[in-house]
Structure 1
């Protein structure tokens, strides 16, 4: 699974890759800045003629049929459109230089939503919290092999919008993962600030929804709610998910930066919290999952904002079925870094 708003992880013996970044909003994808959105034709033309201007957001195999199975680069540009760029081509194959048909995108993730072996894009954006404000979610397949069902072509490559829906509020987070192991392909979790007129109190201003394929053989176009939505008083800033090796659905970790809080959930008939912690003096800032020690369950790595000699990086061991309900246990490798790690990845670097 390729992730995400802040990081990418792969299974295997993992080493920690730490970035002590002092920015308040850092992401692998480029954070949108105010800019006048250009028409899609002009944006695509600029991408085709000036590939050196492309900056990476995430890399993944968008098209599994591409020679050598090389990865493409996906990012959100300053015009708030989503771009896919592939600098590697063979022979007369056209380069993949896709541009989303609309803008105002805030976050995206990559997943296999039609179970074809390639990655598609899910994105959220736009919206607000006033009565009647709606955000949006869309699923794009930037490279389709059957042009008969395509919505268009960019640089000779057909693409398709598989799904779109309105969200009653302001969507801020989206994540792709295996949240229902009984259905092939990936599911989608997204979070949004709800419209003020439907918020009963501060304890339910933010809502998470998970959707899954509505048919046994996913095609990316038919979706239904997976489990009941979760309303929350926290405006979550950070989401990460991973399979922890117990055979169940991917677990979801959330961080709320203002209160320094972290929650980890496992999914069944609903959302079950298996870990939570918070500190205003040592707030949590980032979370990643990886097979840090090699073998066994996948570990969770968190960073906290604190000054030396306080601990700023903690590795948690997954302990399913813990009698006290706390299934993430800190191990002895509590580390001190100054400055603290602002963003954390795990990867197989050795």
Structure 2
């Protein structure tokens, strides 16, 4: 969406200085039990909505943090009040038009018990917790749920079209009480809200499925652009992926696996202009096989006969509309390789131009430190920017549609989790806090 109001733009030097001041070595809050925070003060909304999206990531201590590069009023500087978070996702759980953060952590028998928590970093409606602000923006814990076993992944999407807002899914270890079949080691649980007018505070189990795979990657999309979202899981060690439709009684759409040509990651998007969305998958496969593969959806199934060859193959793929065309997306891939090889590569269907630097690929650093990334409109210009992370740095390609120039933010990350979403689309609640 094009921003029609004047925005406060922050130059790179000032932004980096501000952001470094925001990031202490550890959280300034001591860990505490999380619970749904419903008591508080209702106040009118402030006129502080912002068209740009924010970067959400996990730092090296497991604290969830937000980087807000472009803001019209207050800068979102939120961070979680505790650390050790293992996986995060973004979704609209209270149907207020912006995103909340859902996170999982913990292992039974340790000082950090297994738990799922929903954070609202920018409270736009409902109750606020008096005094609980960061940079004068109210935040709260919307919901907390103890889990019976170690959670590995959390994801969010529209898995029940009959309930407004997003649902939440987790991937956790099987426990004896689950009554799983012999050989099953992983349970996927999808939760939906109990109310037809949800506010993010009351959830119940919606779908359950057990697997013998140890899912390590997850992606959510909508292949036919109707009904509920689809979800794809990847077991990177075994080289398997599988795609399911939770809203259709967890129907399996397809699964693929190869020890010799292991699948590493998947993503969804309108890669080919027109028609259904595609699923993009990357793997380790020597030419003449495609390491980047395009899976087209038709008649309830996926087929693959398009792609590109890379040696070695990418280990991560994500999508973004870096040209702002609104009719297709680019595939952005990260791979590990030796020497001065090209580690960041961009592809599309050819209808929109990609600058030569990205189509040829960028070397980045030679130590293979860059591990993953995300794309989103962090400056409100209606084009997606590319963001990649390594353990000590976040890199932003702010004009990826016509330039490979980048700026870095020196900060600790877990190297594995970065998302981009609009946390303050509708502003935040004002009033006495």
What is the TM-score normalised by the length of structure 2?
0.61
C-alpha separation between the residues in 2 aligned to 1:123 and 1:305?
30
CA contact (8 A) 2:161 2:247 kept: no
Deviation string, structure 1 residues 58-117 (Cα, Å, up to 9, x no partner): xxxxx9964442222211111211112324344xx4321111111110110111001100
1:88 is aligned to 2:70: yes
CA contact (8 A) 1:131 1:196 kept: no
1:125 match: 105
2:281 match: 302
1:328 is aligned to 2:299: no
Point out where structure 2 has 5 or more consecutive residues left out of the alignment: 1-23, 32-44, 324-433
CA contact (8 A) 1:301 1:313 kept: yes
Deviation string, structure 1 residues 290-310 (Cα, Å, up to 9, x no partner): 111111110111111123333
C-alpha separation between the residues in 2 aligned to 1:194 and 1:308?
38
Q: Could you say if the C-alpha distance between residues 330 and 181 of structure 1 is closer, same or farther in structure 2, counting changes exceeding 3 Å?
A: same
2:251 match: 272
Q: Could you say if the C-alpha distance between residues 313 and 88 of structure 1 is closer, same or farther in structure 2, counting changes exceeding 3 Å?
A: closer
1:39 is aligned to 2:54: no
Point out where structure 1 has 5 or more consecutive residues left out of the alignment: 1-34, 43-62, 322-326
For 1:159-308, list aligned pairs within 5 A: 159-195=139-175, 203-227=183-207, 229-268=208-247, 270-308=249-287
For 1:75-154, list aligned pairs within 5 A: 75-90=57-72, 93-128=73-108, 134-145=113-124, 148-150=127-129, 152-154=132-134
Deviation at 1:170, TM superposition (A): 0.9
Q: Could you say if the C-alpha distance between residues 169 and 149 of structure 1 is closer, same or farther in structure 2, counting changes exceeding 3 Å?
A: same
Deviation at 1:334, TM superposition (A): 3.4
C-alpha separation between the residues in 2 aligned to 1:142 and 1:271?
31
C-alpha separation between the residues in 2 aligned to 1:114 and 1:247?
22
Deviates more, 1:207-216 or 1:336-345: 336-345
CA contact (8 A) 2:87 2:152 kept: yes
Q: Could you say if the C-alpha distance between residues 317 and 37 of structure 1 is closer, same or farther in structure 2, counting changes exceeding 3 Å?
A: same
Higher-Rg structure is 2
C-alpha separation between the residues in 2 aligned to 1:233 and 1:64?
49
CA contact (8 A) 2:50 2:71 kept: no
Deviates more, 1:136-145 or 1:192-201: 192-201
CA contact (8 A) 2:54 2:67 kept: yes
CA contact (8 A) 2:193 2:203 kept: yes
Superposed CA RMSD in Å reads 2.8
What is the TM-score normalised by the length of structure 1?
0.75
CA contact (8 A) 2:90 2:99 kept: yes
CA contact (8 A) 2:96 2:125 kept: no
Provide the secondary structure at the position in 1 that maps to 2:183: helix
1:343 is aligned to 2:316: yes
